[in-house]
Amino acid sequence: MGWQLTEDVEEFRTAADPCLVRDPARSTLLLTISESIRESIRVNGAAVPARFGYWRENETAPVSAGFVQTPPLRPLLGPMPDRAARELVPVLRAAQPGADHTRATAERVSTGRIWLWDVAGAPVAMASVSPVVAGQARVAPVYTPPRLRGRGYGGAVTAAVSRATLDAGAEQVLLYTDLANPTSNALYRRLGYRPLTDSQTLTFG
Domains and CATH numbers, the chain: 2-91 (no CATH), 108-190 (3.40.630.30)
Residue 101 has pLDDT above 90, yes or no: no
Task: Let me know: does 73 contact 67? Beta carbons within 8 Å.
Answer: no
Mean pLDDT of 85-103: 43
Q: How far apart are the first and last CA of the chain?
A: 25
The sign of the dihedral angle between the CA atoms of 123, 135, 3, 12 is negative
Flag whether pLDDT at 87 surpasses 80: no
Alpha-carbon gap, residue 136 to 49, rounded angstroms: 24
Whether the pLDDT of residue 126 is over 70: the answer is yes
Look at residue 100 and tell me whether its pLDDT is greater than 60: no
43, 106, 98: which is closest to 69 by C-alpha? 98
Q: What's the confidence (pLDDT) of residue 10?
A: 96
